[in-house]
Structures are given as C-alpha cells and as structure tokens.
Amino acid sequence: MEFLSVLLLFLVIVAVVLWLYVARQGDAELEFLVDQRTDFKLEELTGDTAVLSCNIPFVNKGSQDGTIMDCYPRHLLPQEQFDAVEVVSRLELETRLRKDGYFEALIVPKTTGNAVILTLTFRATGGDIKQAMADMVDMAVDIVYQVVARSKWYITKQRMIVPADELARTLSAGRAEA
C-alpha cells in the first residue's frame, strides 16, 4: 500500500513537472499588425482597372518558432453593397515576391516578423474605373492564415478596413502624378 502511494505521488510529481515545462515553454503567437499597415499606393491605372497595394507587417510575439503554412486575403464587397467594381485580392511575402498568389510555408522565429504585400485590383464593371471608384464604399479585407507550431494547427484571420476615402485619395494622387 505504501509502495502504491509512493508510486502515485511520483507520477503526480512527474505530471506536474511536465505540465510546468510545457506551460513555461509556451508557443508561437503570430499576429498580422493590420493597424500598422502602410498607406495604399497606386501600382497601375488604366481605363477600367486600378491596382493598389499596401504592406502589412506581422510578428511572432510568442516564445516558440511558428510556421505560417498558408496565408491569403479575403475581400468582402457584396454586390448588394456595391457592384460597380469587381475586386481581386492577392498576398505575397515582402521578402519573397511571387505573382501566383501562392504562399510558401514560412517559419517565423520567435520575436521576429516580416511583412506581406496586399494587392487589390479593382475592375469597373461599367468600363470606367474613375467613375466607379467615385462611389466606392469602405471594404473589409480579412487576412486569413494557417499556423502550425508546437500545438495543433489552426486557421485564424484578422480584419482590416480599406477606407473608400483613402482609395479615392490614392487614385486622385496617382492621376495627378500621371
């Protein structure tokens, strides 16, 4: 009986030590700093299309390295709200540019970060992008990303708002430069 008690006590101590070890070790904590994004800049402007982009930093605030397995933008512009433009959104890593929208899985060491470039392409359904964008509304864009680290993988997202007045300013400034 005494032996069993000692054994039980030993197992409890081992379990507590392991729990403390895991708790102290922590995990990765990845976050896109959408409130620290750069202003949009005009990449291209034609009769029916405007292409704008901004940079969005992200960090691993956690105590372990983490992997972003996938990351993509999800713009939300329902036709019920505004149907004068069609939108295409794309993300690429600032330090590994590519035009295919594919996000190559990336290890983000703890306490470090990087940035993605969000590119939004607006095409006027009526053929005139200047006219269409004049009535543009604020648009939400979710940055959706899948993380795997020490724990189970998960998909999460962070929302940013693309203000219509910022788009208008960027377009008019771009037109003025052109």
**Residue 9 interacts with another protein (CB under 8 A)?**
no
Alpha-carbon distances of 64 from 164, 172, 177, rounded to whole Å:
38, 45, 46
Our finding on whether 149 is near another protein (CB under 8 A) is yes
- Which x/- pattern over 97-126 shows residues binding another protein (rule: CB under 8 A)? -----x-xxxx-xx----------------
Among positions 29, 70, 86, 166, the unique one binding another protein when judged by CB under 8 A: 70
Site string (31-50) toward another protein, x via CB under 8 A: --------------------
Instruction: Report, in this order, helix, strand and coil percent for the chain, each rounded to 5.
Output: 25, 40, 30
Cα end-to-end span (Å), the chain? 88
Identify whether the C-beta of residue 124 lies closer than 8 Å to the C-beta of residue 132: yes
Task: Fill in the DSSP letter of residue 79.
Answer: T
- According to CB under 8 A, which one of 47, 152, 177, 178 is a site residue for another protein? 152
Tokens of 159: 């929302």
In the complex, the smallest distance separating the C-beta of residue 77 from another protein, rounded to whole angstroms, is 28
Q: How far is the CB of 67 from another protein (least distance, A)?
A: 6
Structure tokens of 76? 């939300």
Residue 156 within binding range of another protein, rule CB under 8 A: no
* Closer CB to another protein, 12 or 76, in the complex: 12
Provide CB contacts within 8 A for 66, sequence distance 6+.
27, 28, 29, 30, 60, 107, 108, 110, 147, 148, 149
Name the amino acid, one letter, at 48. D
Closest distance of CB 9 from another protein, Å: 20
Residues making contact with another protein (CB under 8 A): 18, 21-22, 25, 64-65, 67, 69-70, 102, 104-107, 109-110, 148-153
